[in-house]
């Protein structure tokens, strides 16, 4: 029994850890950098500018429709890299495992990470494993860090939104958060709600090819679209107006949100992005988005306006205008 | 009361998280990359080769003589970068916080990280914060990732030990592990045992200036010297013989080990390194070590020999020879 679970020895630095690394991690992630077998990875430095991003992943449940903590941990960090306009070049991964965690589950997660990394074309070059005694974590937490290369001429930052700019989203809102919540609350739907977890760097590359002067990119994860827009508005010192009628939300997600008392604007996404670009380039950017499988349901959802208070407002379906709420509390712990 | 502790809202992606980042993290780590305020940091790419290393830190207790989880999380990762011969250039940090964790403790930890990073001359350029409900972590876990630059001509790897090479350590063994264990077991000593936690990259730079052809560097953390030597022996396909009489161990550490039933060879260090270099350069390397404050008690402890089985043996004080044990179990969970 104990042979099929994680023990404290797997985090000891000794022989059991060595074997776990050899048999599981190196085998799954197999690449020349990881195979160096050192506590670090040495690689060629890319020309130009470098981008670095990190994210811990503590989602529960570990496995969900559309993905698992492993694929999420790869996509989440690749997307943070991609939001600089960068092309990801490497990932590191650090596991915090709870004593007693089933080895079969760890294997499933690691294989899913390896698949996600391979599909994205980004090697997992180095890593770390810690084990904490039973009851001091919940199964597994995964921290990934990504490196990427930013090309000449690309200059994307949260501070670059300007009045007159257009605001776009790459697809439907709230899919990830609602899929996880439905699972936790054991809600039944006629259609299966799936997380949208996906790596967005190739989508970003096609967007940049069409519109090199994108001002801002950000992925609306925890806190959803509303938090994402508030952050950008505050950073740029501008206001935003979005139109309810333009927001792409799946029917099943809208229904579940009603049932759960949630606003899709506040719900996490893991395979979507918000883009802000000069107003006259919005149609070109939308066309580029629609051309890519991950942007088929993209929409222009609003515009940047002058506003010293950095407010985000919503034009309702009925023509009214209200402030979008900037989430103060927490409805959805461990959503990512 | 709740205002003085971490709440789930601090991990929500919303306003409370934004405030925590602004008031605590940005203020403490203050640097132009973090101040970009994006979910990633863009910096100039260094010339040559790049090194990447990551480590999660789950030590208990969080505060200990000589340091805390914050300084340890900075030193631990900087040292992994340094063990490639690299000069660290940036760090990322990801916190997993338990709901209810005292904000004052988090502040103390963050300030200690910031001090350690500043002393090392390495900015914390990006980060992440997750909060898990009470009982799903133990206070705080910190994952740091480091980037560094490896100079032309430096070629250090665990696979480069050759028969005839000399094995050196940079100072006394077991200080960190015994300091933590004594605290946990509430042992009283006449002298205070302190963790040796320290950043080693400047020591490494002076070593490389004296002996550019160092073959291997590794920091004997979890699992201690014995695990470190076994890893290197296995990677290089060689054996090693070390001499008990040459191993630098403080009297207080030796005493505590006897009391706790531990072998100093298996106990974690956080500010020491093992170096392997051609035998004829050992004296020059030792001199360089002795010249640096962190290498004052360095010693040549043994040599690399031919051995297809990759065994590590110890010549005892009395002239006998025994196999060094390659730790299979785990005596010291959460030591780093």
**Is the pLDDT at B8 greater than 50, yes or no?**
yes
CA distances from B121 to B52, B114, B125, B142, B231 (A): 17, 10, 12, 20, 30
Last residue of a domain, one of A86, A119, A150: A150
What is the domain extent for residue A185? 166-323
Number of A–B residue contacts, CB under 8 Å:
292
Query: Cβ A334–B138 below 8 Å, yes or no?
Result: no
Number of independent structural domains in chain A: 2
CATH code of the domain covering residue B27: 3.30.1330.10
Query: Cβ B334–A132 below 8 Å, yes or no?
Result: yes
Q: Tell me if A155 is assigned to some domain.
A: no
Quick one: B123 and B177 in the same domain?
no
Tens of pLDDT along B289-305?
Answer: 999 999 999 999 999 99
Q: Tell me if A35 is assigned to some domain.
A: yes
Tens of pLDDT along B313-336?
Answer: 999 999 999 999 888 776 689 999
CA distances from A301 to A266, A276, A283, B268, B274 (A): 16, 10, 12, 55, 58
Quick one: B183 and B305 in the same domain?
yes
Last residue of a domain, one of B101, B122, B150: B150
Residue from B18, B26, B34, B53 to probe the interface with A (highest A Cβ count within 10 Å): B53
Residue B1 has a pLDDT of 43
Residue B182 has a pLDDT of 87
Residue A189 has a pLDDT of 67
User: Cβ distance B311 to B233 under 8 Å?
Assistant: yes
Min distance B297 CA to chain A CA atoms (Å): 25
**Is the pLDDT at B23 greater than 50, yes or no?**
yes
Q: Tell me if A277 is assigned to some domain.
A: yes
**Is the pLDDT at B187 greater than 80, yes or no?**
no
Q: How many residues does chain A have?
A: 336
Tens of pLDDT along B195-252?
Answer: 999 999 999 999 999 999 999 999 999 999 999 999 999 999 999 999 999 999 999 9
Residue from B7, B12, B156 to probe the interface with A (highest A Cβ count within 10 Å): B12
Nearest-CB residue to A223 (from B14, B46, B219): B14
Residue by residue, DSSP assigns A52-118 as EEEEEE--SSSEETTEEHHHHHHHHHHHHHHTTTPEEEEEEEEEEEETT-BHHHHHHHHHHHHHHHH
CATH code of the domain covering residue B221: 3.90.650.10
Q: Tell me if B260 is assigned to some domain.
A: yes
Tens of pLDDT along A295-333?
Answer: 999 999 999 999 999 999 999 999 999 999 888 776 689
Residue from A2, A6, A12, A32 to probe the interface with B (highest B Cβ count within 10 Å): A12
Q: Tell me if B105 is assigned to some domain.
A: yes
Of the candidates B274, B217, B270, the one whose C-alpha atom is nearest the C-alpha of residue B72 is B270
Quick one: A70 and A136 in the same domain?
yes
Backbone angles phi, psi at B245, to 5 degrees: -65, -20
**Is the pLDDT at B116 greater than 60, yes or no?**
yes
Quick one: A145 and A25 in the same domain?
yes
Quick one: B278 and B146 in the same domain?
no
CA distances from B138 to A128, A135, B9, B64 (A): 19, 9, 18, 16
Of the candidates B39, B139, B167, B327, the one whose C-alpha atom is nearest the C-alpha of residue A54 is B39
Last residue of a domain, one of B150, B185, B217: B150
DSSP structure class, residue A21: I
Quick one: A142 and A276 in the same domain?
no
Residue B184 has a pLDDT of 87
Q: Tell me if A15 is assigned to some domain.
A: yes
Q: Tell me if A271 is assigned to some domain.
A: yes
Quick one: B145 and B170 in the same domain?
no
Quick one: B171 and B319 in the same domain?
yes
Tens of pLDDT along B58-72?
Answer: 999 999 999 999 999
Quick one: B194 and B141 in the same domain?
no
Q: Three-class SS string for chain B?
A: CHHHECCHHHHCCCHHHHHHHHHHHHHHHCCCCHHHCCCCEEEECCCCEEEEEEEEECCCCCEECCEEHHHHHHHHHHHHHHCCCCEEEEEEEEEEEECCCEHHHHHHHHHHHHHHHHHHCCCEEEEEEEEECCCCCCCEEEEEEEEEEECCCCCCCCCCCCCCCEEEECCCCCHHHHHHHHHHHCCCCCCCCCCCCCCCHHHHHHHHHHCCCCCEEECCCCCHHHHHHHHHHHHHCCEEEEEHHHCCCCHHHHHHHHHHCCCHHHCCCCCCCEEEECHHHHHHHHHHHHHCHHHCCCEEEEEEECCCCCCEEEECCCCCEEECCCCCCCCCCCCC
Residue B189 has a pLDDT of 67
Quick one: A198 and A125 in the same domain?
no
- 3-class secondary-structure state, position A202: helix
β-pair type (B87-98, B124-132)? parallel
Report, as ranges of residue numbers, the positions in chain A whose pLDDT lies below 50: 1
Residue B254: CB partners within 8 Å, gap ≥ 6? Answer: B264
C-alpha gyration radius of chain A: 21
Q: Tell me if A309 is assigned to some domain.
A: yes
Residue B79 has a pLDDT of 98
Quick one: A144 and A172 in the same domain?
no
Name the one residue in this structure whose structure tokens are 């605590």. B24
Quick one: A307 and A175 in the same domain?
yes
CA distances from A47 to A140, A272, B26, B45, B139 (A): 36, 28, 28, 6, 40
């Amino acid at each position: 029994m104990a042979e099929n679970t994680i023990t404290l020895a797997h985090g000891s630095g000794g022989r059991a850890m060595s074997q776990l690394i050899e048999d599981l991690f190196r085998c799954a992630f197999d690449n020349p950098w990881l195979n160096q077998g050192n506590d670090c990875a040495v690689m060629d430095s890319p020309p130009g500018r470098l981008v670095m991003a990190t994210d811990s992943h503590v989602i529960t449940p570990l496995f969900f429709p559309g993905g698992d903590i492993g694929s999420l941990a790869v996509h989440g960090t690749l997307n943070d890299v991609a939001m600089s306009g960068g092309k990801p070049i490497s990932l590191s991964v650090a596991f915090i495992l709870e004593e007693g965690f089933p080895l079969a589950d760890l294997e499933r997660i690691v294989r899913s990470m390896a698949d996600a990394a391979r599909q994205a074309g980004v090697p997992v070059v180095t890593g770390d494993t810690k084990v904490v005694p039973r009851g001091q974590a919940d199964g597994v937490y995964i921290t990934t860090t990504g490196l990427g290369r930013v090309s000449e001429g690309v200059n994307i930052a949260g501070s670059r939104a300007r009045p007159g700019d257009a605001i776009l989203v790459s697809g439907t809102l709230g899919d990830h958060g609602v899929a996880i919540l439905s699972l936790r609350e054991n809600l039944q739907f006629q259609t299966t709600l799936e997380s949208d977890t996906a790596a967005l760097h190739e989508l970003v590359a096609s967007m940049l090819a069409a519109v090199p002067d994108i001002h801002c990119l950000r992925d609306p994860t925890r806190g959803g679209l509303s938090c994402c827009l508030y952050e950008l508005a505050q950073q740029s010192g501008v206001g935003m107006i979005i139109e309810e009628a333009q927001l792409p939300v799946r029917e099943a997600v809208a229904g579940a949100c009603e049932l759960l008392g949630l606003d899709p604007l506040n719900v996490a996404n893991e395979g979507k992005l918000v883009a802000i670009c000069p107003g006259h380039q919005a149609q070109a950017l939308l066309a580029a988005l629609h051309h890519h499988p991950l942007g088929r349901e993209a929409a222009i959802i609003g515009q940047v306006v002058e506003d010293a208070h950095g407010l985000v407002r919503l034009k309702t379906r009925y023509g009214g205008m209200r402030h979008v709420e900037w989430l103060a509390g927490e409805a959805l712990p461990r959503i990512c």
